[in-house]
């Protein structure tokens, strides 16, 4: 029987791993998916910056120097200083940490929660109606507003930012997983597995779960990108990361009042944020093309 199920699952597995880099094919893979390479490289660079921030010629990002207020970029202060005399270069580099932590955490948490909810919804008809009504309701609240309202009800902290953005992202993942589950349930290989007497548990683990991985991974990268933007927006309008922590949104919020005389305060975090989000989006587009050629054709 286990042989049966393995054969039945085979077509999906082949499709999923068809373009995986195998030995000797790495160069072909890189050439075929330039956006994965470009996005991956920039993202790896940002991860390196986040990890190595203390060693990259930075000073204390919180160190005040009132006499060195609002200095334009120079040899001493590469990105200039803000209105409290803090070194923007150091603050921007340390800010990478906040963005990446929020982006990655939200992507992982929202994917896991969405996966669980989507699976339950796709398999238990009784729960499906209720869960999907709740998800419809949550989806009707624009994500940024939902996150703002959640943040307004709690204290500002990185953890709460992550939770608020995750809640705002869950409905979309759940819908995606549910859709995949419902269409897979009609597939001959799942019907065959049911006919062969496979338990529901085993069907979910062996047949459904592996097939949700590809679209879920792609979705997770997009969630990561949008979570980074949402974090910056929340911090920018004062509903996100507490001002004491240097995040790109916070640095821009502090530069807002001065942006006409000292545009570099806003400029440098903006460039880093855009570049990071761009790299994640490129990675997502590349993964989509590589993992799911059918979906790639449609978009």
Partner 1 sequence: MLAYVVRRILATIPVMLVVAFVVFSMLMLAPGDPAAVIAGDQATPEDVERIRQALGLDRPFFVQFADFLWRLLHLDLGTSIFTNLPVTHMIAQRIEPTLALMVLTIVLAVSVAVPLGVLAAWKAGSWIDRGVMLFAVFGFSVPVFVVGYVLAYFFALEWELLPVQGYTPLREGFFPFLENLILPAIALGTVYIALIARITRATMLEVLAQDYIRTAKAKGLGMGPILFLHGLKNAAVPISTVVGLGIALLIGGAVVTESVFAIPGLGRLTVDAILRRDYPVIQGVVLLFSFVYVLINLLIDLLYILFDPRIRY
Q: Which stretch binds partner 1 (CB under 8 A): 5-13, 21-29, 53-61, 236-244?
A: 236-244
Q: What is the 3-state secondary structure (H, E, C) of 13-67?
A: HHHHHCCCCCCCCHHHHHHHCHHHHHHHHHHHHHHHHHHHHHHCCCCCCCCCCHH
- When binding is defined by CB under 8 A, the residue of 8, 148, 262, 290 that contacts partner 1 is 148
A 10 A CB-CB count for 123 gives: 17
Taking CB under 8 A as the rule, does residue 3 contact partner 1?
Answer: no
Please tell me the distance from the alpha carbon of residue 4 to that of residue 274, in angstroms, as a whole number. Answer: 49
CB 235 within 8 A of CB 247: yes
Long-range contacts of 52-56 (CB under 8 A, 24+ apart): 53/90, 53/93, 53/94, 53/96, 53/97, 56/93
Question: Does residue 179 belong to the site contacting partner 1 (CB under 8 A)?
Answer: no
Kindly state the smallest distance separating residue 64's Cβ from partner 1, in Å: 22
Comparing CA positions, the residue from 69, 98, 57, 73 lying closest to residue 254 is 69
Q: Which part of the chain contacts partner 1 (CB under 8 A), choosing from 117-125, 183-191, 201-209, 277-285? A: 277-285
Alpha helices in the chain (DSSP H): 2-17, 26-32, 34-52, 88-123, 125-139, 143-153, 158-185, 188-195, 200-202, 209-236, 248-255, 264-291, 293-298
**Identity of the residue, 106 or 193, whose beta carbon is nearer to partner 1 in the bound complex:** 106
State yes or no: residue 153 binds partner 1 (CB under 8 A): yes
Give 20: exposed, middle or buried? Use CB within 10 Å, 0-12, 13-18, 19+. exposed
Does the protein bind partner 1 through residue 274 (CB under 8 A)? yes
220 touches partner 1 (CB under 8 A): no
Comparison of 210 and 263: residue with beta carbon closer to partner 1: 263
Q: Does 100 interact with partner 1 (rule: CB under 8 A)?
A: no
The answer to whether 144 contacts partner 1 (rule: CB under 8 A) is: yes
Question: Per CB under 8 A, does 238 bind partner 1?
Answer: yes
List 203, 282, 283, 287, residue binding partner 1 (CB under 8 A): 282
Helix, strand, or coil (residue 69): coil
Residue from 36, 49, 252, 290 that binds partner 1 (CB under 8 A)? 252
Stretch that binds partner 1, among 51-59, 73-81, 135-143, 207-215 (CB under 8 A): 135-143
> For residues 35 and 285, what is the distance between their CA atoms, to the nearest angstrom?
7
150: contact with partner 1 by CB under 8 A: yes
Question: By the 8 A CB rule, do 69 and 88 touch?
Answer: no
Picking from 45, 14, 23, 13, the residue whose alpha carbon sits closest to that of residue 283 is 45
Q: Rule CB under 8 A: say whether 256 interacts with partner 1.
A: yes
Comparing CB distances to partner 1, the nearer of 216 and 232 is 232
Q: Does 11 bind partner 1 (CB under 8 A)?
A: no
The yes or no reply on residue 127 touching partner 1 (CB under 8 A) is no
- Site residues, partner 1 (CB under 8 A): 133-134, 136-138, 140-146, 148-155, 225, 229-230, 232-233, 236-239, 252, 256, 259-260, 263, 266-267, 270, 273-274, 277-278, 281-282, 285, 298-299
């Amino acid at each position: 029987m286990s042989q049966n199920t393995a054969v039945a699952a085979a077509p999906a597995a082949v499709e999923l791993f068809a373009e995986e880099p195998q030995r000797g094919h790495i160069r072909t893979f890189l050439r075929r998916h330039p956006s994965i390479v470009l996005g991956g490289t920039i993202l790896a660079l940002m991860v390196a910056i986040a990890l190595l921030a203390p060693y990259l010629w930075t000073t204390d990002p919180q160190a005040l120097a009132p006499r060195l207020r609002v200095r334009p970029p120079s040899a001493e202060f590469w990105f200039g200083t803000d209105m409290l005399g803090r070194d923007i270069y150091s603050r921007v580099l340390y800010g990478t940490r906040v963005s990446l932590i929020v982006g990655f955490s939200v992507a992982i948490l929202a994917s896991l929660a969405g996966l669980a909810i989507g699976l339950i919804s796709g398999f238990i008809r009784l729960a499906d109606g209720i869960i999907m009504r709740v998800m419809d309701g949550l989806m009707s609240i624009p994500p940024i507003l939902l996150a703002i309202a959640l943040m307004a009800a709690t204290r500002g902290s990185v953890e709460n930012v992550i939770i608020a953005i995750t809640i705002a992202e869950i409905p979309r993942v759940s819908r995606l997983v549910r859709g995949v589950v419902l269409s897979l349930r009609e597939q001959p290989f799942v019907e065959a597995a049911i006919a062969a007497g496979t338990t529901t548990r085993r069907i979910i683990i062996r047949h459904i779960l592996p097939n949700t991985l590809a679209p879920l991974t792609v979705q997770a990268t997009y969630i990561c990108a949008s979570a980074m933007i949402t974090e910056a927006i929340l911090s920018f309008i004062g509903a996100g990361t507490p001002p004491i922590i240097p995040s790109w949104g916070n640095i821009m919020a502090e530069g807002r009042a001065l942006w006409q005389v000292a545009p570099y305060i806003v400029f440098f975090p903006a460039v880093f944020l855009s570049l990071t989000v761009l790299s994640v989006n490129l990675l997502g587009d590349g993964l989509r093309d590589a993992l799911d050629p059918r979906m790639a054709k449609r978009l």
